[in-house]
Amino acid sequence: MKKAGRAAWATWSPDVASSVKHDGTLLTSADLAAEAILLEALRLHFPEDGAVTEESGGERGQNAFWVVDPIDGTSSFVEGLGHWGPTLARFEPCAGEFEVDCGSLWLPRLAEHYHVETSAPNRGAWFNGAPMPPFAALRPRHTALVPSRFHSYYRLRYPGKTRCLGGTAAHLALVARGAAEFAIVAQGWSAWDTATGLALIAVLGGTARTLSTGEAVHPFRHEGEAFVAGSPEWVAKILLPGALAPLPEPT
């Protein structure tokens, strides 16, 4: 992870070149360099696992596999901000579905590393090597993390501050760490954006629910659906009628 992050940051400059992909997100040479490093490491250490990556694709298969985003938050990377970095998660078959076994996120400009394991006896979450406290032990921050341009599309009934700091993976990890009470994730995400963050939040006693039906979010079953994630108390409040309302489309 750190090697991939260093390789990505080494390519940055104030005029870093980027292209726009079919989904409207950005692609840089840093994404491709970081992805190559991560895939090489996975082939070396987990030769029997498959891999599905944002830039190169791949197949999930029937056995354990990894989802890889070489830079989650490429727009933040291009802009020279801090909340971007490589993230990956390993899925294993479980009761007819695939569930996260472990996951990791590295934010190289901030020197922040998040790691999660979901199975006993090692179940837990760590920030820079130290165990992360459960949601029940966190003090209120009165801050929520939202997508960019959120204010153009929604009205949120929330007494605290709202911020957009970077990529989806970073937003979810920050919520798990207690830097915000909840995050709203817009539609259109993929499993590699959310798998580690959702696992961090779940292991620490938080929850994630779709905005449309209130179902517990699964990285594949609900892929692309808008959701709210964070402390159970605030997630329940955001799902109440009128807490989050779409604004009228401009005429």
DSSP string, the chain: -HHHHHHHHHT--TT---EE-TTS-EE-HHHHHHHHHHHHHHHHH-TT-EEEETTTB----SS-EEEEEEEETHHHHHTT-SB-EEEEEEEEEETTEEEEEEEEEEETTTTEEEEEE-STTS-EEEETTEEPPPGGGPPP--EEE--TTGGGTEEE--SSEEE--B-HHHHHHHHHHTSSSEEEE-TT--HHHHHHHHHHHHHTT-EEEETTT-PBP-TTTTTT--EEEE-HHHHHHHTSTTSEEEPPPP-
Higher-pLDDT residue of 65, 247: 65
Residue pLDDT, tens place only, 118-148: 998 999 999 999 999 999 998 888 999 999 8
CATH topology of domain 2-131: Fructose-1,6-Bisphosphatase; Chain A, domain 1 (3.30.540)
Given pLDDT bands bounded at 50, 70 and 90, which one contains residue 7?
confident
Q: Range(s) for CATH 3.40.190.80 in the chain?
A: 135-240
Residue pLDDT, tens place only, 217-246: 999 999 999 999 999 999 999 999 999 988
Q: Is residue 250 pLDDT above 60, yes or no?
A: no
pTM (2 decimals)? 0.93
Residue pLDDT, tens place only, 71-120: 998 888 888 899 999 999 999 988 778 999 999 999 999 999 999 999 98
- The CATH number assigned to the domain with range 135-240 reads 3.40.190.80
Q: Range(s) for CATH 3.30.540.10 in the chain?
A: 2-131
What average pLDDT score do residues 174-198 get? 95
